[in-house]
Amino acid sequence: MESNSVSPMPELAPIAEFDKTPPTPPEDTIPMDDLPPPPTVVTVANNSVEQEAETHRHYEEENEWGCGSWLEYTMVVVLASVLLLGSLALTLFWVIYYHNGFAWREDLSKQFNLHPVLMVAGFITFSGFSILLYRICRCCRRIYVKLLHTVFHALSIPCVAIGFMAVLDTHNLKRPEAIPNFYSLHSWIGLVTMGLFAIQFVVGFFSFLVLLCCEGATSAFRAALVPIHASFGLTTFMLAIAACVTGLTEKVIFTLGENYEKFSEQSIIVNTLGIVFIALGILVSYAVRIPNLRGDSMVYMDDRM
């Protein structure tokens, strides 16, 4: 066994993305990082004897890993970006072409159309790009990535809020009888998603931006919060996808009924949209978590999250 112990990871690349020599030196007064001791190096060593000798090589390779290897993600990031925009475009097309576009209060069925479009914009497109930023902006300073992350999530809020009001209105103003709210599995999943999103936004904003005002005292707390925030963030995105596919199923059956089984144009469009959401769930979680394109057998949560 020992003689056969060929390393599965012959090229041990350091996984932390910190630059030892960042392009712009950090201000001494207001450091921006959540994980305070740069450089944090995550090393995969096959035995303890090799460990020290290899450390230096890791440091040398660090710059390459930090900025160079993002090229390896190009395909995943480009595909995810195309699907994030494509899902919104396809939702818009579905709603405008098959459901006559938008209105507010004048026509309840057209007002309802705001719901899928705005929810997809908020929970999928903006949130998806917000998560992907940590892959796209691998060479930017972290404070800029954090601010962009916040801005994208902040843009989601009006989308989700108006999208939510649109469906509530559609239900409550329906005549001769109002439609009850929160009766379906879709609405239950959506409610949990919105709650988790709100908690994540408030906790994230407070912890990773506001608490920077007393950076030294809060660094350990913020560092401990990073993986929790990242895990719940990805969970929220997955919940949003579950809400999307159940919502699409609901809407297409309520609209087409028995005709759903006739492979109409609309049903193909809706199913394709659903598969795009599923693909996005796989791609975004892959892009965020798995840096093993270079052959590491390790999966980790990026410490810049």
Token representation of residue 110: 């057209």
CA dist 281 and 161 (Å) reads: 23
Q: Which of 1, 21, 176, 265 binds a second copy (CB under 8 A)?
A: 1
Q: Which of 90, 167, 252, 280 binds a second copy (CB under 8 A)?
A: 252
Q: Which of 242, 280, 284, 287 binds a second copy (CB under 8 A)?
A: 242
CA dist 214 and 218 (Å) reads: 6
Residue span binding a second copy (CB under 8 A) among the ranges 93-101, 109-117, 130-138, 219-227: 219-227
User: String of b and e for 134-153 (b: at least 16 CB within 10 Å)?
Assistant: bbbbbeebbbebbebbbebb
Size of the site for a second copy (CB under 8 A): 86
Within positions 170 to 189, which residues make up the interface with a second copy, using CB under 8 A? 179-180, 183-186, 188-189
Contacts of 84 (CB under 8 A, 6+ apart): 124, 125, 128, 129, 132, 280
Contact 266, 252 (CB under 8 A): yes
Question: Can you list the pairs that 279-282 forms with residues at least 24 positions away whose Cβ atoms lie under 8 Å?
Answer: 279/83, 280/80, 280/83, 280/84, 280/87, 280/124, 280/128, 280/241, 281/237, 281/238, 281/241
Q: Rounded to the nearest whole angstrom, what is the least distance from the CB of residue 25 to a second copy in the complex?
A: 10
Q: Rounded to the nearest whole angstrom, what is the least distance from the CB of residue 108 to a second copy in the complex?
A: 15
Does residue 192 belong to the site contacting a second copy (CB under 8 A)? Answer: yes
Q: Which residue has the tokens 């809400």?
A: 243
Q: Which residue has the tokens 């007064």?
A: 29
Residue span binding a second copy (CB under 8 A) among the ranges 28-36, 94-102, 150-158, 199-207: 28-36
Does residue 59 belong to the site contacting a second copy (CB under 8 A)? Answer: yes
**For residues 150 and 271, which CB has a smaller minimum distance to a second copy in the complex?**
271
Residue span binding a second copy (CB under 8 A) among the ranges 116-124, 154-162, 199-207, 249-257: 249-257
Does residue 199 belong to the site contacting a second copy (CB under 8 A)? Answer: no
**For residues 45 and 162, which CB has a smaller minimum distance to a second copy in the complex?**
45
